A and B are shown apart, each in its own frame.
Chain A
Amino acid sequence: MAFNRPLLRTSYEQDAAIFPTYTQKGAMVAFGVFLVLMGLGAPYISAIPEFFLGPTWINPITNMLPLAISALGINILVGVTGQVSLGHAFFMGVGAYTAVALGGSGDEWQACVPFHEEIGLLEERGQCGLGLPIWVWLPFSGAVAAAFGIFVSPAAMKVRGLYLAIVTVGLVFIGLHLGRMFPEYAGDFESGRKWPSLDFRLWKEETPLIEFSEDGKWFGLIHLSEEQKQYFLLMALLGGFIILAKNLVRSRTGRALQAIRDRDIAAEVMGVPEFEYKRLGFAISSFYAGIGGALWGSYLGRRSPVDWSLFLSVDFIAILLIGGAGTIAGTMLGAVFVELTPEIVKHRTDWLAEQIDASNIFTPVANFLLTTGESGDFGPINIGTVAPGWTMSVFQWNFVIYGVLIVIFLIFEPLGLFGIWIKIRNYWKRWPFSY
């Protein structure tokens, strides 16, 4: 007995806790403090993200946060319930457009970019919507997306696995088509339309109770930049949604969803109604997608219908494959990895480009890897404006890295980064014994 249970747990409550041991609790608190100090720009600590992402590191990290919220949703559907969906971008779009319709400035429903018979689309009117505060539009964008999820869920009873993935791809194209059909609402196909800012208002008052869209003193206490405020807001929301997802997975509903994933017929015989739970999986997953989409639109301030494309859906599948489907920690690792790797590669390439003229120990490396596109200058990464032959830009290399990583993870580490982490942890737990 003692051999099998090295961690003595004294109550069921402790056993069911999100972080069962004090070491884990301590590590999480430390990590939380680290994130806060990082956001405040504390010396040394903020040097870490700066090394990878450059002085504007807070932007790519904050941009990742709403996507991480949506990723929690795709994990509930694909990882926990076992229903493969490529429609996640569509549900994000539903959430985002709900947010702009309810939260955009104004008092009445109106087309944001009016249309003229002869000239076509006219000057954009700004953010057009009902002008409702965030505490209305945010839950609503989740709820409307969830309603669409419920509407789509019967498909999961008809088709399974890959076929379901293909059916849900259709959603993304329907979304794109709707965007093209109603540019007055969706915004111009290229430039999109404006989203409301993230400010917190009680109702429609002029000065927000908590503002997130201007540099300045917060609560008369601390001076923060706009970026920092958004970082803290989205970080807090992500933290909250992680806890909700974790609670779901460790309780009755989460077990029923996993049972459907593992063996749907046995689950039914055990009293878990298959359709109800597949529908619930779609609803909760789309809810997260909608919230993430709404926040993403509002954070970036401008989105177009093409931003909710198949590429975005595939990003989420990559997050699950690379991070490790089924676990929340894996999903978060995947989100960080998939969303930040391109930024890191880009930043480090820019840095390398500066070393060409600096003539230091990195100069030969830079000369070897980079090319400006001039004749006689070879290198796999093109930093010039014209593409000479086979060399590729950083942007293109990112696609290659992404594809290769997915293949590697699929073949060698189906549990993703989470699986690698577990292996490392178990190794150190046993150390110095090798078995």
Chain B
Amino acid sequence: MSEPILEADGITLRFGGVTAIRDVSFHVNEGELFSIIGPNGAGKTSIFNTISQVYRPQEGDIRWKGASIMGHRPDFVAELGIARTFQNIELFPQMTVIENLLLGRHIRMKQNWFQGMLWFGVAKAEEMENRRQVEDIIDFLEIEEWRNHPVALLPYGIQKLVELGRALAMDPELLLLDEPVAGMNLEETEDMARFILDIRRELGISMVMVEHDMGLVMDIADRIMVLDFGEKISEGTPEEVQKDPNVIAAYLGSSDLHVAAE
């Protein structure tokens, strides 16, 4: 936990009359697992979309290692080393698992279209080298048996893993995970939690995780930010956040937090 690598300063994002995010600031330290929680529609996914510059916030600034990324395109942000998964899986459905992961390697590969068309030489060597790295990720996520299947045909839980794999293939420094265990059963959730902890421990990748599963968040997050109606209502360690009266008020009537507190 040292320098902040990602800093967001007073971001405000409006869609017409709707204010999805209102003056939210936060930072993510190197090596940290930072979590964003909040009810549906609180603006969590929108925050990810502003970081990857899919949405352009009207106000505020987002800095990566001190330099602003505002006004750049999503592919520029990707090349900086910020990878993400999506709440509603956004894999390339007609491509196989291997092709999806190799697409994740896109920014780390150098060949151009002409070398690709000739194949022999640069392209072939690079394809083989990257294929090897992708196979390591496949082994790590234990999805060997699916590797040649088009992803559209895979079970939901496997698709979630493939999406995580695709983000890992980008060799990111920061990983944004949008509800990684949503819709998963207990066993799948435990597997995913194990993978997230392994990624952190073995690869030292910093992470921001949006999640509804309070148990998971309280267990593995270093710090938590709580959003409600687009505003930040609390931030701190899991213990601090659980005791925060603002948070308790916002979650009143919702069983999530009680379950987590037990």
Contact A262 B75, beta carbon cutoff 8 Å: no
Given contacts A244-B117, A271-B107, A271-B170, contact A251 B92 (CB under 8 A): no
Comparing B33-41, B121-129, B222-230, the segment that makes contact with chain A is B121-129
Q: Mark B90-113, 1 if CB is under 8 A from A, else 0.
A: 111111000100111111010111
Binding site for B on A (CB under 8 A): 1, 4-5, 12-13, 15-16, 244-245, 247-248, 250-256, 258-259, 261-263, 265-274, 280, 284, 326
> Can you sample 22 A-B contacts with CB below 8 Å?
A4-B145, A12-B128, A12-B131, A13-B128, A15-B131, A247-B116, A248-B113, A251-B111, A251-B115, A252-B109, A255-B102, A262-B92, A262-B93, A263-B90, A266-B91, A268-B74, A269-B75, A269-B90, A270-B75, A272-B75, A272-B106, A273-B73
Contact A254 B74, beta carbon cutoff 8 Å: no
Contact B113 A253, beta carbon cutoff 8 Å: yes
Given contacts A265-B54, A271-B78, contact A255 B73 (CB under 8 A): no
Query: A269–B85 Cα gap in the complex (Å)?
Result: 10
Cβ of B132 under 8 Å from chain A: yes
Contact A254 B116, beta carbon cutoff 8 Å: yes
> Contacts of A255 on B, CB cut-off 8 Å?
95, 99, 102-103, 106
Query: A377–B137 Cα gap in the complex (Å)?
Result: 73
Contact B78 A266, beta carbon cutoff 8 Å: no
Binding site for A on B (CB under 8 A): 52, 54, 73-75, 77-79, 83-84, 86, 90-95, 99, 102-107, 109, 111-113, 115-119, 123-124, 126-128, 131-132, 135, 144-145, 148, 166, 170
Minimal beta-carbon separation of B67 from chain A (angstroms): 18
Identify the closest chain B residue to A256 (Cβ): B106
> Contacts of A284 on B, CB cut-off 8 Å?
113
Task: List the 10 closest A-B pairs by CB distance, nearest first.
Answer: A271-B78, A251-B116, A271-B107, A266-B90, A262-B92, A247-B119, A268-B74, A253-B113, A12-B131, A273-B75
Query: A280–B73 Cα gap in the complex (Å)?
Result: 18
Minimal beta-carbon separation of B142 from chain A (angstroms): 12
Contact A253 B116, beta carbon cutoff 8 Å: yes
Given contacts A268-B74, A269-B52, A270-B166, contact A259 B116 (CB under 8 A): no
User: Can you add 16 more A-B contacts, CB < 8 Å, to A253-B113, A255-B99, A269-B78?
Assistant: A247-B118, A247-B123, A248-B117, A251-B116, A254-B116, A255-B95, A255-B103, A255-B106, A258-B92, A258-B99, A262-B95, A263-B91, A266-B91, A270-B170, A271-B106, A271-B107
* B contact patch SS: helix
Query: A397–B106 Cα gap in the complex (Å)?
Result: 49
Query: A357–B159 Cα gap in the complex (Å)?
Result: 67
Contact A251 B95, beta carbon cutoff 8 Å: no
Identify the closest chain B residue to A280 (Cβ): B113
Minimal beta-carbon separation of A185 from chain B (angstroms): 32
Given contacts A259-B103, A271-B170, contact A266 B94 (CB under 8 A): no
Query: A254–B52 Cα gap in the complex (Å)?
Result: 24
Contact B92 A259, beta carbon cutoff 8 Å: yes
> Contacts of A245 on B, CB cut-off 8 Å?
117
Minimal beta-carbon separation of A418 from chain B (angstroms): 13
Minimal beta-carbon separation of B154 from chain A (angstroms): 13
Minimal beta-carbon separation of A116 from chain B (angstroms): 48
